[in-house]
């Protein structure tokens, strides 16, 4: 993976996390692991806007246009799902139930950023 791709991937993860936080889309996490149900909700939001292919700095980009915050968030989340081949990174924190995007390389994260343990913390108590 090139540095450029790595940086782009980081942005996809961060933007997807923000999308879950700033919109009603966080509620769809409760539908998981039923990916078809989640997809149906995402598609309803995506239908509130339109995608346009545009040239940008010598590359091609798919730009999504909508006045709906949840539709824009759905597009951001859809990019994560496409690039990561599924919803495995979209999770609910084991401690506070808030939706979050698992940014671990092995997709093994179980807690939101706020509830991640520090390395030296006692692990006996969740
Ligand atoms: Zn949490």
Domain regions of the chain by residue span: 3-85
Could you list which residues have their CB under 5 Å from ion ligand 1? 93, 95-96, 98, 112, 115
For residue 114, the CA-to-ligand 1 centroid distance in Å is 6
For residue 17, the CA-to-ligand 1 centroid distance in Å is 13
pLDDT of residue 3: 47
For residue 89, the CA-to-ligand 1 centroid distance in Å is 15
> Is residue 122 pLDDT above 60, yes or no?
no
Classify 82 as helix, strand or coil: helix
pLDDT of residue 2: 44
What pTM was computed for the model?
0.81
**Better-scored residue on pLDDT, 23 or 15:** 15
Find out whether 49 and 75 touch, Cβ atoms under 8 Å. yes
User: Which residues are CB-contacts of 19 (< 8 A; sequence separation ≥ 6)?
Assistant: 25, 72, 73, 74, 76, 77
> Is residue 124 pLDDT above 70, yes or no?
no
| Mean pLDDT for the chain overall | 88
- Give the pairing of strands 59-65 and 50-56: antiparallel
E-strand spans in 2-126? 50-56, 59-65, 90-92, 99-101
Q: pLDDT tens, 23-55?
A: 788 889 999 999 999 999 999 999 999 999 999
For residue 42, the CA-to-ligand 1 centroid distance in Å is 23
For residue 35, the CA-to-ligand 1 centroid distance in Å is 22
With a pLDDT cut of 90, the percent of the chain lying above it is: 71
């Amino acid at each position: 993976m090139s540095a450029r791709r790595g940086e782009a991937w980081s942005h996809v993860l961060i933007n997807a996390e923000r999308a879950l936080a700033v919109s009603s889309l966080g509620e769809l996490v409760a539908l998981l692991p039923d990916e078809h149900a989640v997809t149906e909700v995402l598609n309803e939001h995506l239908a509130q806007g339109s995608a346009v292919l545009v040239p940008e700095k010598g590359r091609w980009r798919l730009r999504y246009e909508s006045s709906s915050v949840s539709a824009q968030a759905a597009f951001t989340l859809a990019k994560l799902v496409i690039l990561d081949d599924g919803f495995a990174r979209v999770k609910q924190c084991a401690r506070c139930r808030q939706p979050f995007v698992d940014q671990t390389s092995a997709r093994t994260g179980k807690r939101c950023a706020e509830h991640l343990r520090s390395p030296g913390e006692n692990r006996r108590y969740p």
